[in-house]
Structure 1
Amino acid sequence: MKVLMFGWEFPPHISGGLGTACYGLVKGMAHHKQDLIFVVPKLWGDEDPLAEFVNASDVEIDYRERRFRDIWKNLTYLEVSSFLVPYLSPEEYHNHTERLLKDQDELESSVLANKFSFSGKYGKDLILEVSRYALVAAQIAKNKKFDLIHAHDWLSFPAGIAAKQMSGKPLIAHVHATEFDRSGQTVNQRVYDIERAGMEAADKVIAVSHLTKNTIVAKYGIPEEKVTVVHNAVLDTSIIKSKEEKKVPEKIVTFLGRITFQKGPEYFVEAANKVIKKDDNVRFVMAGSGDLLNRMILRVAELRIGTKFHFTGFLKGDDVDKMFALSDVYVMPSVSEPFGISPLEAVRHNTPVIISKQSGVAEVLQNAVKVDFWDIDAMADAIFALLHYNGISKMFKEMGREELKKLKWEHVAKKVIDIYKQTVNQ
């Protein structure tokens, strides 16, 4: 069986957990010798050759076939901007619409060119790139031979739908996060519509946790029997013995992730303030970047804990490993985390973890302290206990190491391959 898989990023060039999860799954697939065509918007040339990679930026589209125009017409969610702009005078409104119409013509000319160069990032033209990616997917589906389509998250769902329309092959929609996880209740309607269309068009939906499955069923109206839960894993289950040495005498407590609503950084700051009031011999680190970064910096300044609180910016590669190695406690206070691989990486570095009950990883990682994301008192108490009671910290380290051995990507890949077989046989 050959699988046509659509992703948005692939290591070493990634911006978040989606690329890491795709890499783990593809690596697990290679372990089982699964025949795989993996498509990404842009290849950089230094990807691990685990599959037959296709660079969407190199694909030329043959618009002589009417089917491509039909697929483009179906991408109705592509809107450069809305003409309904409030608070403009009649003259300003006229100038605004004239400019938008010009932009629309230039956009159509660009996106419907034979070849399109993707940025491979999450920029201001993301919806445009998602839509163009769908057209490229249709062309790939026309040229390649395969038995099943697998699309990861909303960025790739239109590509999966277009490939299904072109080939008639079954589609698997893999949901790593939903718009409700990213934005709470203030969802982006266009993204929600794309997610829902992808899940409705799919023959089977894979959710990374029961938490995510519940959201898919309740918020998107997808039948429960259509959704299968397959938890994520960790790339390497071996324990890392780092020689990294701390340059400060204090204990270190770390938050590592995107500094956005979804990750709950504000709860980490408030818990840090409570701990520092009880114990001055501790430093807190917030590693990452995101739209709430400036607000977190201001809040730390308001609380007057700046000398004990550090912002590193976005970390990757060896710097992430160093940060885990230097940490005495790792905290993931996510408001809504479909899964969350970072606590497993912390366990690999022999670091005890505190995770929110509102995370998918809480379903598989039993030997971690679990708190409600909003309960900053419980979070602060847990941090204090792990820093001061060596017996508790040692217990979580030892039991976490044993638990980690079961969470391998080849096990995840085997479950996904079984879903492939079931879907094709249906």
Structure 2
Amino acid sequence: MNVLMFGWEFPPHILGGLGTASYGITKGLSLQPDTHITFCIPRPWGDEDKSFMNIIGLSETPIVWKDVNYDYVKQRLGDKMDPQLYYDLRDHIYADFNYRMTDDLGCIEFSGKYPSNLYDEINNYSIVAGVIARQQQYDIIHAHDWLTYPAGIHAKNISGKPLVIHVHATDFDRSRGNVNPTVYNIEKDGMDHADCIMCVSELTRQTVINHYHQDPAKCIAMHNAVYPLDQEILDMVNQRKPFKEKKTKVVTFLGRLTMQKGPEYFVEAAALVLNRTRNIRFCMAGSGDMMEEMINLVASHGIADRFFFPGFMKGKQVYEVFRDSDVYVMPSVSEPFGISPLEAMQCDVPSIISKQSGCAEILKKCIKTDYWDIHAMADAIYSICTNDSLHEYLAKEGKREVDEITWEKVGQRIYNCYQNLLN
């Protein structure tokens, strides 16, 4: 089975949970029988893991025919693309795009991020995807998140192959209901054209059914997972100081500082905890448009000496934060899934999550509160930090639980969905 997959992020260059999930899904799917994946991203960097799939960068895919020699193409592309693939793609340019801004290889430049001209990049992605969709051989199309839905639709219109879209979040989650009509229309168009809609939780599935008016029969809850920690990370995590020996505990928030993630509730709960004890420090790791507001809120409560803001964390840095943490808190207002609590629990860190998160549907060995209930959140933080037995139980049982939630199992479920569509 050949899968043409469209995504926006891929490790090690990620900006959020989408890249982490993309890696897990493709790795788990690659372990299924006779499955071959071609994963398309706006801009590759050349250091992605290509051991289990092919990667095509849209920034290296030509849309304007250029007469360039092989050696020059090889020099320009480096580790990002096989020069022969460049020429194969060039033979499938389907329209005259000379009016568009392209480089010396006839390719469109992509930032590989979420720039201010994001809608232009989404449109360009769809145009370039048309070249790839005409050149590649595939049985099924899989598009991740709203940014790639237009590309998935384009590929379906070209090939007639089934389209699967993966809903990692909706604009109802990102905006607390203040939906951007342009984003909503892109999301709904993708869903309307999809043969199967995979949602990262039942919470998200219900949003898709009720707010995007989709047939429940084609909507499937496909929960995320985690991959086993490699030995280097395990060794680092195991260097942590024993909980009982620590005089000052560390409670961590790790995520985007945006209204979706509920950072203000974390600060308010922290202020309540610090009214009872000063032997706890709070780490707010991440960046976002609410950073300054959160710093000011901490200052207004007079708890700045107990807070620190290390900024955006990625890769190994995430696990360095977990190694130094005693409790992890995810107070999201609306979280389609939320992989970070699973990652924290892998590192023996007890977690407190909001009931309004998708991962709450599958996690049992953690504490769940409403995101707005700062008193319950504060009680949970205080209890875990001051009760050695409770901390030990949640750390041990939490790790045991998430070790059974693997991407290979997710890959098998996705593979079965593919088979049902093709049959």
TM-score (structure 1 length as normaliser): 0.87
Matched with 1:416 is 414
* Structure 1 segment 222-371 matched on structure 2, within 5 A: 222-236=214-228, 240=234, 241-245=237-241, 249-371=247-369
Q: Distance in 2 between matches of 1:147 and 1:318?
A: 36
Does residue 26 of structure 1 match 2:18? Answer: no
Question: Mean Cα displacement is larger for which, 390-399 or 262-271?
Answer: 390-399
**Aligned equivalents of 2:253 and 2:45: distance in 1?**
30
Query: Which of 100, 115, 119 pairs up with 1:109?
Result: 100
**Which moves more between the two structures, 375-384 or 47-56?**
47-56
Q: Which secondary structure state, in structure 1, belongs to the residue aligned with residue 47 of structure 2?
A: coil
Matches within 5 A, 1:36-55: 36-49=37-50, 50-55=52-57
Cα distance in 1 between the residues matched to 2:154 and 2:94? 10
CA offset digits 1:322-343 (Å, max 9, x no partner): 1101111100000000000000
Give yes or no for contact 1:111–1:132 (8 Å, CA) kept in 2: no
Shift of 1:401: 1.9
Structure 1 partner of 2:76? none
Q: Is 1:130 aligned with 2:122?
A: yes
SS in structure 1 opposite 2:101? helix
Work out whether residues 68 and 135 of structure 1, in 8 Å CA contact, stay in contact via their aligned partners in 2. Answer: no
Name 1:214's counterpart in structure 2: 206
The residue matched to 1:48 in structure 2 has which SS?
coil
**Aligned ranges for residues 80-159 of structure 1 at < 5 Å?**
109-110=100-101, 114-159=106-151
Per the alignment, in what secondary structure is the counterpart of residue 109 of structure 1? coil
Tell me what 1:2 maps to: 2
What TM-score do you get using the length of structure 2 for normalisation?
Answer: 0.88
Deviation at 1:237, TM superposition (A): 6.1
Q: What code does the residue aligned with 1:26 have?
A: T
Determine helix, strand or coil for the equivalent of 2:100: helix
Could you list the structure 1 runs, at least 4 aligned residues long, displaced by more than 6 angstroms after superposition.
Answer: 63-67
Amino acid at match of 1:57: S
Aligned letter for 1:110? M
Q: CA deviation at 1:20?
A: 0.3
How far 1:61 moved relative to its partner? 2.1
In the alignment, residue 242 of structure 1 is paired with which amino acid?
N
3-state SS, counterpart of residue 44 of structure 2: coil
Cα pair 1:330 1:354 within 8 Å, conserved = yes
Structure 1 residue ranges without an equivalent (≥5): 73-105
Query: Kindly tell me: are residues 347 and 65 of structure 1, through their superposed partners in 2, closer, same or farther at Cα, counting changes over 3 Å?
Result: closer
1:317 to partner: Cα distance: 1.9
Identity %: 48
Is 1:178 the counterpart of 2:170 in the alignment?
yes
Helix, strand or coil: the match of 2:228? coil
- Structure 2 counterpart of 1:189: 181
Number of residue pairs the alignment of both structures matches: 389
Contact in 2 for aligned 1:29/1:410 (Cα 8 Å): yes
Q: What's the RMSD between the two structures over aligned residues? A: 2.2
Q: Is the 8 A contact 2:62 2:93 kept in 1?
A: no
Aligned equivalents of 2:164, 2:146: Cα separation in 1: 12
Tell which deviates more after alignment, 331-340 or 391-400. 391-400
Q: 2:401 aligns to what?
A: 403
- Matched with 1:168 is 160
Partners of 1:38 and 1:320 in 2: how far apart?
Answer: 25
For the residues of structure 2 that align with 1:407 and 1:153, how far apart are their CA atoms? 22
Structure 1 pair 65/365, CA: closer, same or farther in 2 (3 Å)?
A: closer
Asked if the contact 1:150/1:160 (under 8 Å) is kept, the reply is yes
> 2: distance between equivalents of 1:218 and 1:38?
31
Q: What amino acid sits opposite 2:3 in the alignment? A: V
Q: C-alpha displacement at 1:184, in angstroms? A: 1.0
Say whether the 8 Å CA contact 1:62–1:139 is kept in structure 2: no
Q: CA deviation at 1:111?
A: 7.5
- 1:203 aligns to 2:195 (yes or no): yes
CA distance in 2, matches of 1:351, 1:197: 40
Q: Structure 1, residues 307-328: CA drift from partner, whole Å, max 9, x if none?
A: 0011111011222111101111
Deviation at 1:248, TM superposition (A): 8.2
Aligned AA for 2:11? P
Distance 1:22 1:65 in 2: 27
* Distance in structure 2 (CA, Å) of the matches to 1:392 and 1:194: 46
- In the other structure, the counterpart of 1:12 is 12
Output the CA distance in 2 between the equivalents of 1:198 and 1:67: 23
SS in 2 for 1:110: coil
